[in-house]
Structure 1
Amino acid sequence: MSKVHCVRTIRIAERPNLIWIEIETDEGLTGLGESFRGAQAVEAVIHEQVAPWLIGRDSRRIEAVSRHLMTPYLGFHSTGAEMRAASAIDLALWDLAGKRHGIPAHEALGGAVRTEIRAYNTCAGYAYNSGGVARRAVHATDAPAGPYDDQIAFMRDAGSLAESLLAEGFTAMKIWPLDIYAEVSGGHMIGLADLKAGIDPFRRIRAAVGDRIDIMCELHSLWSAGAALRICHALEEFDVFWVEDPIAKMSDAKALADLRRRTRVPVCGSETLGGAVSFRGMLEADAVDVVMLDLAWCGGLTEGRKIATLAEAYAKPLAPHDCTGPVTLMAGLHLGLHAPTAIFQEVVRATLATWYRDLVTDLPVIVNGMVQAPTAPGLGTALLPDVRGRGDAVIRETGQPRRPE
């Protein structure tokens, strides 16, 4: 039957935004899932609402479980705690599906369209997005924590950073030098001096490496439509690959579509949306050029595959998000290998080189800027045993866990 008999969550104080879920079945398998932000709220949803319903059910009925969890009375069409919990559960069920049949998740989804996918490096630092505060403004005067503290690097010497990435095989990079200027007006406007300073890193990159690298601009949903438009116009001369999440309410498809019509810069969105219906509305409004989704927030691989189908139907490229955790990265890679219009897998070389390695057994392999297809069953990674034994680990179980003999 493959019945679920235990649901376990694990979180650690050092990375308070991250939560992992392990689903154990009566066939002796364990599936691993993950979500990010508000880990305590997600934990409560899982153990107080989801796990009591899931225990005893057939773990093979992934679509049925997804439909149940994706339609609560409250919390749908968002990336709230219910959606994040549903996403983590879904990833674990797909991990189980691959392990059950001895195949990678991309094969379980229906097979790979490609055996590798182009990577772009999100130029974050070692601690970016990992603490209790999601993001922190970084200035050129900050001290780097190591050679891959790329967020400080793009504020200090973006040209040298681009050269460093090219030397490692990366041919695309994403930066967000305008974030620090949103604080001045709450994102409602940007002055000319701040605008010129904010776009200077793009100028430095082009001066240093010319057209040998693609550049994405992340705006983190910090700006009003008017301010975002001014920024987009200023970026046009640098031929950026996309401007990501330019407006404060990425669920406002009409405002986003209006912005897109008024600029030549391609618009990308949005990791902040949950559920296929939200993406359908954005696509129906012709509001984006590139579809980005986060599988730990949008509903997992089950819903992610539906969003990928919508992107294909609207002839839009797809780009899975990663700036949160290693399991989500692996899941996004499997979808990127499977989805016909996928063009990129986001990675952060600083986290790949450091704390991701302290958490899981396996990470994506990048060769000449291309992320290779995993070959192990399921998602292709597992939590390191030491994670559960950490002094700052909080482990909660519902059901009957397997105990070591």
Structure 2
Amino acid sequence: MTTFDSSRPPEGTALAATTVRAVRAWQLAPQPAGHAAGLPEPVAASAVAPAGPAWAEHRTRFAIELVADSVSGWHAPVSETVLQVIVDDLAAGLIGHDAAAPRRLPYRRRTGRHRAGAHARQAVSAVDLACWDLASRDAGTAVTDLLGGTVRSHIPAYASALGLDPAHDAAPESAAWITDAGFWGQKWPLTKQLIHAGPKTVAAVFGSLRQAAGETRFMVDGLGRCRLDEAMRLLPVLADLGVFFAEELLPPGSWGWHRLRSAGAGVPLAAGEHAIDEGEQIRLLTGGAVDVWQTDPGWSGGLARSLHTTELAADLGMVTFPHGDRLAAALALAGACCRDKIPSVEWHLTLEPLRQQVFTAPWAPEKGMLPVRTTAGLAALPVLPEATAVLEVTGS
């Protein structure tokens, strides 16, 4: 029987220009406190203080660099915990990997036991996205071209108002501004206060927002906060409001999720961003558990995995709305798909401007649209405050 070590090429094999020679980490500036400068006044009027600066993953964050002969691939930001998983489990096996061969990446040697869970999947996703960035920069072409061709040059964005208080007196003004700004739709949080106040209060608050929003699509995100009985009582309210979808009223896959799904009430249920492992993704997609699929290339295993589940969702009659945590990857995914598969991507009104501060050329919506990157690289290069890398792993 012939065996081979997938972590290194056969003897005498010439290494491609996209072969990874080293893995480096660069420390980024922490997320600043407060909101980003220039937040539109109608949005700022009902905005709540961002929680991110208190989170360890936002205080200490890094960019990873995959170094080839004449070009590097980048991904940012990653938390300290995710970086440690990359160093412990993935970095050594990446040395000698050809970033232009994405189907070989899952077979690279691993040196630790981190195989599942949120941080392990974020680490795998970060490496996958850095490889796409490297392959794109070496080829001098857009990532969408590597995915099979650029289908769309601009993608509609829906406004995520999760950083706004839906019960604030200024919230209807914010809802009206979102519509006037040209966003594809708007999504509002179902806060704990509203859940505890009950269906009548939810109907009054969201009814006011729905009226102010006009004819635009209106979505609700429960953030997994409801009990089953609370979610069941809210379904008729959301149906009366004509919500386009209700996201994670309960934690997807929990014991009450299928009872909620079977209740129906004409409310499409959305989930997927927290389905990080392959088996969980397939169970949600094929088990009749969701009506609307949400994938996050930064959490779900990377860009290739997200494209796979998007195609599967389309085959099953579902549209996909990529989660907004990794906007560059979401736009590349959407740019390689038609609008029937991915109608829109998420733009977080208060958080995304803070996320974009780590890049030298940040994205910003114009008339509710975001451009697909048509030049090399998944995203613009990260802003590196330090002159030297804080960590480097090379081959022996």
- Return the TM-score normalized by structure 2: 0.80
1:8 corresponds to: 24
**Distance between the aligned counterparts of 2:77 and 2:356, measured in 1?**
17
Distance (Å, rounded) in 2 between the aligned partners of 1:93 and 1:42: 17
Q: Which runs of 5+ in 2 are unaligned?
A: 1-15, 32-55
State yes or no: 1:223 paired with 2:226.
Answer: yes
Q: 1:46 aligns with which of 76, 83, 86?
A: 86
Contact (CA 8 Å) 1:104, 1:380: kept in 2 or not? Answer: no
The question of whether the paired residues in 2 share the 8 Å contact of 1:154 and 1:177 is answered with no
Equivalent of 1:98 in 131, 136, 156: 136
**Do structure 1's residue 26 and structure 2's residue 68 form an aligned pair?**
yes
Q: 1:70 to 1:167 in 2, by over 3 A?
A: farther
In structure 2, distance between residues paired with 1:257 and 1:118: 31
Evaluate the alpha carbon distance shift between residue 105 and residue 48 of structure 1 in structure 2; reply closer, same or farther with a 3 A threshold: same
SS at match of 1:216: strand
C-alpha displacement at 1:216, in angstroms?
1.0
Asked if 1 retains the 8 angstrom alpha-carbon contact of 2:142 and 2:377, the reply is yes
Structure 1 Cα separation of the partners of residues 253 and 225 of structure 2: 13
Structure 1 length as normaliser, TM-score?
A: 0.78
- Structure 2 residue aligned with 1:115: 153
Where does structure 1 lack aligned partners over 5 or more consecutive residues? 126-150, 183-189, 401-405
Amino acid at match of 1:112: T
Give the whole-Å Cα distance in 2 for the aligned partners of 1:70 and 1:115.
37
**Is the Cα contact below 8 Å between 1:105 and 1:334 reproduced in 2?**
yes
Percent of aligned positions that are identical: 24
Partner of 2:239: 236
Q: CA deviation at 1:70?
A: 10
Q: Write the distance in 2 (CA, Å) between the matches of 1:5 and 1:166.
A: 48
Distance 1:232 1:35 in 2: 37
- Amino acid of the residue matched to residue 278 of structure 1? E
- Summarize the Cα distance change of 1:224–1:73 in structure 2 as closer, same or farther, 3 Å threshold: farther
Using the TM superposition, give the Cα deviation of residue 72 of structure 1 relative to its aligned residue in structure 2, in angstroms: 8.1
> 1:329 maps to which residue?
327
Secondary structure of the corresponding residue to residue 237 of structure 1:
helix
Give 1 or 2 for the bigger CA radius of gyration: 2
Instruction: Go from structure 1 to structure 2 and tell me whether the alpha carbon gap of 1:379 and 1:396 turns closer, same or farther (over 3 Å shift).
Output: same
- Verify the 8 A CA contact 1:175 1:216 in the aligned structure 2: yes
- Is residue 85–residue 114 contact of structure 2 (8 Å, CA) maintained in 1? no
Whether the 8 Å contact between 1:70 and 1:86 is mirrored in structure 2 is no
Equivalent residue pairs, number: 350
User: Which residue of the partner structure matches residue 288 of structure 2?
Assistant: 286
| Residue correspondence of structure 1 range 300-339 to structure 2 within 5 A | 300-322=302-324, 324=325, 328-339=326-337
Assess if the C-alpha contact under 8 Å between 1:121 and 1:174 holds in 2: yes
The Cα RMSD (Å) is: 2.7
Counterpart position of 2:390: 395
Structure 1 residues 275, 110: closer, same or farther in 2, change over 3 A?
Answer: farther
Instruction: Give 1:195 shift.
Output: 3.1
Alignment deviations for residues 306-350 of structure 1 (CA, whole Å, 9 cap, x no partner) = 11121122111001111x4xxx11111110121341111101233
Q: 1:265 to 1:165 in 2, by over 3 A?
A: same
Aligned to 2:179: 166
Q: Go from structure 1 to structure 2 and tell me whether the alpha carbon gap of 1:396 and 1:360 turns closer, same or farther (over 3 Å shift).
A: same
Q: What is the aligned partner in structure 1 of residue 3 from structure 2?
A: none
C-alpha distance 70-293 of structure 1, shift in aligned 2 (>3 A): farther
Q: Residue 152 of structure 2 aligns to a residue in which SS? A: coil
CA, structure 1 residues 209+247, in 2 after alignment: closer, same or farther (shift >3 Å)? closer
Cα pair distance change 1:378/1:366, threshold 3 Å: same
1:371 paired residue number: 370
State the shift of 1:23 in Å: 2.9
**CA displacement, residues 100-143 of structure 1 (integer Å, 9 cap, x when unaligned):** 11111111111133222221111144xxxxxxxxxxxxxxxxxx
1:138-177 alignment to 2 at 5 Å?
151-152=164-165, 155-177=168-190
Q: Distance in 1 between matches of 2:22 and 2:313?
A: 36
Within 2, Cα distance between the matches of 1:70 and 1:298?
Answer: 18
How many angstroms apart in 2 are the aligned matches of 1:70 and 1:164? 49
CA 1:72–1:378 in structure 2 vs 1: closer, same or farther (change >3 Å)?
same
Aligned residues of 1:331 and 1:379 also touching (Cα < 8 A)? yes
Give the structure 2 partner of residue 256 of structure 1. Answer: 257
- Which amino acid in structure 2 is aligned with residue 51 of structure 1? A
Letter of the 2:327 counterpart: L
